Structure formats: C-alpha cells, structure tokens
Structure 1
C-alpha cells in the first residue's frame, strides 16, 4: 500500500470451503492528519476512525452490509450508541434502497420527529432493507446526505451492473455535523460497479501534496514513455549549421527541446502499477466521459458498455505484456544480488551501501572499471590503445564516440549544459552522427 497513510484492514471471509472470499474493508488516513487511537474493536462489516479536521473531532464509520441485513444495522446501532455525541459520519454500502425517504433530521424549533428538507433521488424504489435503514435513521435523528447536499442535488445513482441501476451506497450524519459538511458528490470512476462517494468536511484547503506539486520544479522524464517521446522528437530535427560552435549549439538546443519534462516528486497513488501509461490514462478519460454522458442520458447503455469493455481489455493487455517482460527478466537472474535488485526496483526503495565491502575492494573495483590507478599519468602506449582503428589525421571516429556513450551511467545529474547522460544514450544514430561530425572539426 502507498506510504504516507495509516492503513486499517478487515479481511474478507470465505463462508464455504469453495468459492471466493467476500466482504472485507480497507480504510486509510493520511499520516499528516491527527488520529485518536481508540480502544474500540472493529465489528464485522464496520470500521471506525476518529480524526481531527480543522481542530474538530470527527468520528468516521465505514460500513459494508453485504446483504442489507437487519443484524448488521443492529450491530451499527450498538457501536454508535456508546458515543453518539459529537461530529459523526457514516458511509458505505448498505445494500438498501430507500427511495426519497430518510431525510429526517430534528432541527431547533421543529417538533420531535419533524421532517427536514425533502431528499431527492433518481431511485424511487424502497425495498425491505430500505425500510429497516430508514427506521434506524429516523430513530436516531440522523439524515441521509444523498440528494440533500451541494454536489448531489439530483440524488445520483451509486451502483450499476448489467444495465440495472440503483442507490444503495449512502452517507449518513447526525444533526451536529450536518452543517459542517461542505459537499457530497457521487464520482464517475468505472473500475467498480459502485461509484465512489466523495464528502468534503470543514473549510476548503489545498492538500499539501497538491501545493508541493504546484511549487515543484520540472525534471526530465526518462521512463519508457519519455524515451519514446524523446526519440520521436529527435527524428524530426533537421541539422543545418556546419561550423563547430553553431553545430554544437544546434545539437544542444535540439536535445533540450526533445526531452519530455515532468514535475518532481509526484506521489504514487492507491492502485499504482508499473504498466500504467499515457494510453491507459487517455482510455480511462474516454470511459469516464462516456459514463457522464450515459448518466445524463445522452448515450445508450450498449455504447457505454463497449467503451468500458475496450478499457478493461486494454488494461488486461498491458498487464499481460508487463508480466511477460518481468518473466523474461527473472529468467536471466543468476545471482542473489540480481534477484534483490529486481525486487527493490518494484519496491522503489533506495539500496544502501554494503558495510561488508572493504575500502580496498572499492578502490580495486573502480580502478578496474574506470581504467585508472591512484597516482600516475596515462602513457603514450595506453593513449594509443584508446584510439580505436584510426590514424591521427582522421580525428575521432564514430566507433570511439559509441564506446564513450556506452560507458555513460544512467541516473546521473546533468552538468552545466542541463543535459543528462540519457540524452546521449537514447539519442540513437542521429545524435551519434552529429557528435562525430562536430568532434572531427575540432
């Protein structure tokens, strides 16, 4: 799971020996948000977190009532009745259809049990489980947020499968917290049959990572996607200047413009995977646009299903390709060091320096790798050995340029020209040929 969060998990359970496990809940609270570590034990299908937002305590309860059973509501009542005072927010999948009921909330000046503002909903059906949920809400003087707060004025659908739609996921709060909830929205993500519920509490503020993202400097992107972008731009360049100074300035400017830039320090969100790329992002945006059109009845269900199926097939294809690449890399692993390097790459953790390696071993290794010694100048014979297949009057050969490029290391900081080693390593024949022409004229 992503770092920077305090995670709490309630595992799914398998009722029979065969079949898949069902249920299970995961909740996360950012480490920057103050949380009270209570002694309450989680009840099946219910998770509690108590946090401080804008100097106020909030008790947030996540519910998963798989079958909309009355027993689950009784467990919820028992959990809440112990400490019902204060800001309370209940959210989750209740598997109950409440129609337009459940908007009850006792206001000052109203009679006990009086109705508040009528709730709107696209789902007008009330089922047996819905009546039980409405009863629990009205008994406690709570209110259902769906169809009442800013952002969900129409009471949007929260669940959709095989062309059928319903409202079975809810946000519920008490009188004390109702006015402190800024908005309630139903999202439009298509990874699940359930739409996400987004609730804003307290005053509006810029999340810390968004603020840092705005202020962060731009850095060069040398991922697989960035390399493809760089090579594509390099191939479009036409070299014009032939003199040494002009040719180098043209090459330097062309390389800088060809590099793809990205913001430094972008965090990996929940669900981040290695194979996710620009094509997946664009396809996901397309599906979400189609989902919004379908929600507004501007697109038919079959057309929307086709878009969603294409997106899922693309993700499955990318995942399978990444798996094949990793399997190929695993087959080439022959040592324990290579195995740990592969594992740590997935973990994205910095590899520490081994304390078992002595300083003498480091010196011998780097002297061999860099073809150097502690104190001596390079002799004429050795200098001649580095001139690969050329005479003095011929200047530097293309083969020598390629050898020096191959010796460059990845991930090194750029020099005063702002160009990293990857630009020369990934530039291909076009950049190599231009370098050779410049060196021959020096």
Structure 2
C-alpha cells in the first residue's frame, strides 16, 4: 500500500481544532485537483451567444432549406451555436447560502496564517486571532440568515405564500420514492404511449396513430413550454437552440417530426438517452 502513496501531509482546516491527514494515492481516477482545473467547452446562451446563433442561422438559410432529416438539422444547429472554453471550478455541493465572498476571504487569511505559524514566521496567537475572526464572521452570517428567514415566515399570511416559500427552499426538486415497482413503471409509460407497450416496429419505424400530422401550432405550444438553463441530452442541443431558432429551422423541425410520425423511422440520436436513477 505504501508504494502507492504519492504524498502524505497534514491539511489546513480552520473550521476545527483538529487537522485532517491528506493522502494522495496513485490510481486510475487521477487527482481531483487536476480534474477541477481541466478545460471544457460550454455553449454560450447570453445575449451575445443568442445574437451569434441567430446570425449564423440567417446566413445559412439556403443550407438549412436543403437539409434532409432531423439528424442533419441537429448538426447544423449544433454548429451554429457559440462555444466558449471554460475552466472547471469546484462545485457548490454542501455550500451554505450564507457563505459569501467575505467568508472566503477570511478563510484564506486564516489558512495563510496557519501556514506561516507552521513555518515559525509568526506566533500562534496571530493564527488563532484570524481563525476566531473567521468563525465569528461565519456564525454572524448564519444567524443573520436565520433571522431573515424567520421574519419572512412571520410575514406569511396566505397559503400561496407558504408554498412559494417551501418551493424556494427545494429549488424546484421534488422528493422521489424508491418504493416503485416495475409494474408501476410499466403502467406509467404505457399511459404515455397511449395504452401500448411500444410503438417501435421493424428496424425502427414508427406506427403513428393514423391521425392527422403534427400541426405547427402543436409544435409551437410544446416549444414554448421548454425551460431554459437545462442540461442538454446526448446530442448536445440545449432547449435554447429551439426557443431561439429561426423560422426556417422550425419549418424543417416540423417536417422532420412529421416524417417520423408517418413511419419514416426514428433518428438514431433519439434512441440514445441518459437515465440517472435517484434514490432518496
């Protein structure tokens, strides 16, 4: 085991009197610090990004009109978006709402003095002073937030305000039970499919229901319900791409959807998805 240890040191925790022991071990996963500093490409949907996207679609009108199928359309939409290179930072998992930039600054100062004290450049009293100031600042921020929440709760007089307050704390997420049996999942998805287990036929054809084609008004109604800021699927297309799409793109999207509806086959990209079970 010791031959796999790359580095072993005492950490720099200022939240507690006890210091952690940090060990870096060789492994397949690599180091977490390197992962956080890695670069990645992100689609820009700011005002500048939307203007860039719309400009490309206007310029490529002839190219879009010659598109044949949804696969080509998604490729053009993907190419039209503005991409930016970003550096991966740490996530905010476990971070409290009261923890702000002032707390970060005080923590950095306390850790700086801890390193100086360990090197013998300052006395322990100076480190303890910075640590005490950091803890008192965090305690004050926490108390201030609790008092603010308590005042907000006391000011609630209607049932609707109660639910808005509760949903704000949940941030739009709902509790999901793990006590769901396969028969319940089957019944649920059969209801979405109109009472049948599957609508796939042959090598990927789609039966449809023999009714009328998808109307433009139906498609527009669905697009209007799309939410912004959501993670894309495997194709890398964000909801914003369809919400900000030009008229010619929407026409081609409707044509492609009706081809699928008439039994023209499901695009390969639609057969791939990411399913993440959540257990609470």
Give the TM bin, normalised by the shorter chain: 0.3 to 0.5
Higher relative CO (Cα under 8 Å, sequence separation at least 6) belongs to 2
Instruction: Return the TM-score normalized by structure 2.
Output: 0.42
What TM-score does the superposition give when structure 1 sets the normalisation length?
0.28
More strand by percentage: 1
In terms of fraction of residues, the more helix-rich structure is 2
Structure index of larger Rg: 1
